[in-house]
Amino acid sequence: MSRIYLETLIDANIQYVFDLARDIDLHQQSTSRTNEKAIAGRISGLIEGNETVTWRAKHLGIYQTLTTKIISMEKPYQFTDVMLKGAFKSLHHQHLFKETKGGTLMIDIFEFESPLGIIGEFFNIIFLTNYLKKFLIERNELIKTVAETLKSPKGAIQPRIE
């Protein structure tokens, strides 16, 4: 199993950052280069516990679908999604949020396993882990930009960037 661990420090209220991280519409904006779209389950707004979303995106030149489910959620501190259907053998993504003196520390723990045994492991090492890390960093950079640009003193959700 491969693991990606990322920390992103964001100068914004924890509830606001938490909500941005589970915003389906913002996720689609952050993944525009792969043309990722929510096509089933929760397709817009804030995903909640026990909800599913099916994504369709073009990765490595091929359109793929991935269905995930939020298996746990403790607002505004964490939520976890797992793959129900998709190209991976397994996928588990923990989103953690910690209040800091200046804002919020957002932590991603993304664990995945590719199919095809040793061939899949080799593919993870030489390519897929870095590809997915870059994908997550781009998503986190948009969350950070929106949170820090559109924040309010009370941490209320502001209109999305169009």
- Domains of the chain, earliest start first: 2-150 (3.30.530.20)
Contacts 24+ apart (CB under 8 A), 54-61: 54/85, 57/31, 58/34, 59/34, 59/131, 60/131
Residue 42 has pLDDT above 70, yes or no: yes
User: What is the number of other CB atoms lying within 10 angstroms of the CB of residue 12?
Assistant: 22
pLDDT of residue 56: 97
Average the pLDDT over each of 26-35, 79-88, 99-108, 148-157 and give the range with the smallest value. Answer: 148-157
pTM, full prediction: 0.89
Helix extents (H) in 56-128: 117-123
CA distances to 17, 70, 99 from 104, in Å: 7, 21, 5
pLDDT of residue 152: 53
pLDDT of residue 121: 87
Residue 46 has pLDDT above 50, yes or no: yes
Which three-class secondary structure state does DSSP give residue 82? Answer: strand
Span 113-120, mean pLDDT?
87
- Per residue in 64-96, pLDDT (tens digit) is 999 999 999 999 999 999 999 999 999 999 999
